Amino acid sequence: MMKKILFVQWDAFMQKGMENALNRLKSRMNFEYETFFYRFVNWDEDDIFTKIFEGKLAEQSQNARKTAQMACGEKHSVYDAVLTVNFSPLISDVCQKYGVIYLAWVYDCPLHIRKTRSLFNKCNRIFFFDRGQADSYKSTGVSGARHLELAADTDIYDKVAISEADKKAYECDVSLVGKLYKSDFSYLCGPLTQYQRGYLEGIISSQSQLYGGYILGELIDSQLMKQLNDMYRKASGGKFAVSEAELEFAMNCEITGRERYMALALLSNRHKVNVYTNDSDERLQNVHFGGYLDYYGQMPKAFKLSRINLNISLKAIQTGIPLRVFDVLACRGFLLTNYQEEIAQNFEDGVELVMYSDVADLVAKAEYYLKHEDERLAIADNGYEKVKKVFTFDRQMEKILSEINESK
């Protein structure tokens, strides 16, 4: 019997590549799909969406009951699964109510949701790109947690034409697409004692120097949180406290922001450096800030026309390969990235991309490859071929969709 999938979309990356894959796979895997677009205002509470979405699944359930009374051979109209980019607690709760499988492919790390109890719904099949994140959720009882690398569609990026105006706008020695990560860490340190601030700085220093390992979560324990929240409550008259997850995220952003600033400051003293973000930093006087880039239109041009593309991962990503890595390589861009366990497992360093072990190593390798054009271009070509052959939406979506059959 043909399966039916509802692909719920919003303003998110990857959706075009996913839908192209659905169209190529639907005949072979015997399914059909519909799309439904909704722009969330609040990911955790949205009564309008819940009513609309529940009505859609309820309508399908009623149709299914009618078809059960019809002769064999009639098409079964109930949705077998709902598919999204990232994870929506609201969708999960409705799918749980109607017994529909919920397939979520996550490129965020960490998840930006407060309604975490929905993660435990039995309908969920949540595919995390970061194995460390997936394993962490599994250890807390999230049975639907899975690990799956992300993907890129080289065909989409191959069609992006480069004009003379584009060359003038995007050509540079080094570029970074992404946030500068200005965190709340300084604000959170305000009410603390000098010893407590020093202790947190020690944790930041330890994690900053550790590439390929994640210790931040282990060092922020319940005893530390009690001491910090005692100070916050005292300073605020009992009105303010911080959760372990909030502090960990703020410290991850602080570490990442410092690393990105240092790399950009050092490189921009010698080379033309472009940064594409809505953030700004007046300290980076030699950096050209190009603003936010459209994902499918402008971003590929920046990757193609940058001699070196940087990936400096958010420290919250424990082992995984960020989407930025696949996108750069799929544009045939040269990638200089921090070491990550899964990057090292899936790509050959110095052949398909280049990894650095600290900021000094980043600067040294940038200098080298800016002087060795042939090597740089060969590595960019190899990285492109690897993504085109191995990390395609067709291959990854087939793994996701196979969960429908396994769950029946």
Left, alpha or beta for 308 (phi > 0: left; psi -120 to 50: alpha)? Answer: beta
Percent of the chain with pLDDT over 70: 95
* pLDDT (0 to 100) of residue 66: 43
As a whole number, mean pLDDT of residues 86-110 equals 96
Question: In angstroms, what CA-CA distances link 89 with 96, 122, 206, 278, 387?
Answer: 10, 13, 34, 28, 31
- The token pair that represents 106 in the structure block: 């996550």
Rg value, the chain, Cα: 23
Residues 246 and 349 in one domain: no
Q: What is the pLDDT of residues 221-240, one digit of tens each?
A: 999 999 999 999 999 999 99
* pLDDT (0 to 100) of residue 2: 82
Residues 166 and 204 in one domain: no
Decide: pTM greater than 0.75: yes
Residues 384 and 239 in one domain: no
Residues 75 and 146 in one domain: yes
Residues 206 and 304 in one domain: no
Cα torsion angle, 84, 89, 93, 99, sign = positive
Residue 71 has pLDDT above 80, yes or no: no
Residues 43 and 140 in one domain: yes
* pLDDT (0 to 100) of residue 58: 79
Residue 70 has pLDDT above 70, yes or no: no
Question: In angstroms, what CA-CA distances link 304 with 134, 308, 334?
Answer: 32, 9, 8
Left, alpha or beta for 131 (phi > 0: left; psi -120 to 50: alpha)? Answer: alpha
Residue 185 has pLDDT above 70, yes or no: yes
Task: Dump strand ranges (E) for 273-334.
Answer: 273-276, 287-289, 306-311
Last residue of a domain, one of 252, 278, 298: 252
* pLDDT (0 to 100) of residue 68: 40
Residues paired with 35 in a beta bridge: 7
Task: State yes or no: cis peptide before 110, omega within 30 of 0.
Answer: yes
- The token pair that represents 49 in the structure block: 């969406």
* pLDDT (0 to 100) of residue 69: 39
171 near 271, Cβ under 8 Å? Answer: no
**Cα separation, 353 vs 250, whole angstroms:** 29
Residues 173 and 317 in one domain: yes
Within 13 Å, how many C-alpha atoms sit on residue 283's CB side?
9
Q: What are phi and psi of 376, to 5 degrees?
A: -60, -45
Cα torsion angle, 203, 206, 208, 210, sign = negative
Last residue of a domain, one of 219, 252, 285: 252
Residue 72 has pLDDT above 90, yes or no: no
- The token pair that represents 33 in the structure block: 């799909």
When pLDDT is cut at 50, 70 and 90, the band that residue 98 belongs to is: very high
Residues 321 and 202 in one domain: no
* pLDDT (0 to 100) of residue 78: 75
Q: How many domains does the chain have?
A: 3
Q: Give, for 170, the enclosing helix (H) or strand (E).
A: helix 164-170
Higher pLDDT, 62 or 348: 348
What number of H helices and E strands is found in the chain? 17, 12
As a whole number, mean pLDDT of residues 84-111 equals 96
Q: What is the pLDDT of residues 128-184, one digit of tens each?
A: 999 999 999 999 999 999 999 999 999 999 999 999 999 999 999 999 999 999 999
Residue 73 has pLDDT above 70, yes or no: no
**Cα separation, 276 vs 297, whole angstroms:** 14
**Cα separation, 173 vs 102, whole angstroms:** 43
**Cα separation, 180 vs 258, whole angstroms:** 8
324 near 306, Cβ under 8 Å? Answer: no
355: exposed, middle or buried (C-beta count within 10 Å: 0-12, 13-18, 19+)? buried
Q: What is the pLDDT of residues 13-54, one digit of tens each?
A: 999 999 999 999 999 999 999 999 999 989 999 999 999 999
Within 13 Å, how many C-alpha atoms sit on residue 367's CB side?
11
Residues 177 and 199 in one domain: no
Last residue of a domain, one of 252, 267, 294: 252
Q: What is the pLDDT of residues 319-339, one digit of tens each?
A: 999 999 999 999 999 999 999
* pLDDT (0 to 100) of residue 61: 54
* CATH classification at residue 170: 3.40.50.2000
Residue 77 has pLDDT above 70, yes or no: no
Please report the DSSP string for 94-149 in residue order. Answer: HHHHHT-EEEEEE--SS---S-GGGGG-TTEEEEES-HHHHHHHHHTT-TTEEE--
**Cα separation, 357 vs 211, whole angstroms:** 6
- The token pair that represents 144 in the structure block: 């639907």
* pLDDT (0 to 100) of residue 184: 94
When pLDDT is cut at 50, 70 and 90, the band that residue 405 belongs to is: confident
* CATH classification at residue 82: 3.40.50.2300
- The token pair that represents 112 in the structure block: 């930006």
Residue 75 has pLDDT above 80, yes or no: no
When pLDDT is cut at 50, 70 and 90, the band that residue 120 belongs to is: very high
Residues 91 and 217 in one domain: no
Residues of the domain holding 33: 3-151+394-407
* pLDDT (0 to 100) of residue 59: 65
Residue 76 has pLDDT above 60, yes or no: no
- The token pair that represents 99 in the structure block: 């017994």
Residues 64 and 145 in one domain: yes
As a whole number, mean pLDDT of residues 342-346 equals 98
Residues 194 and 274 in one domain: no
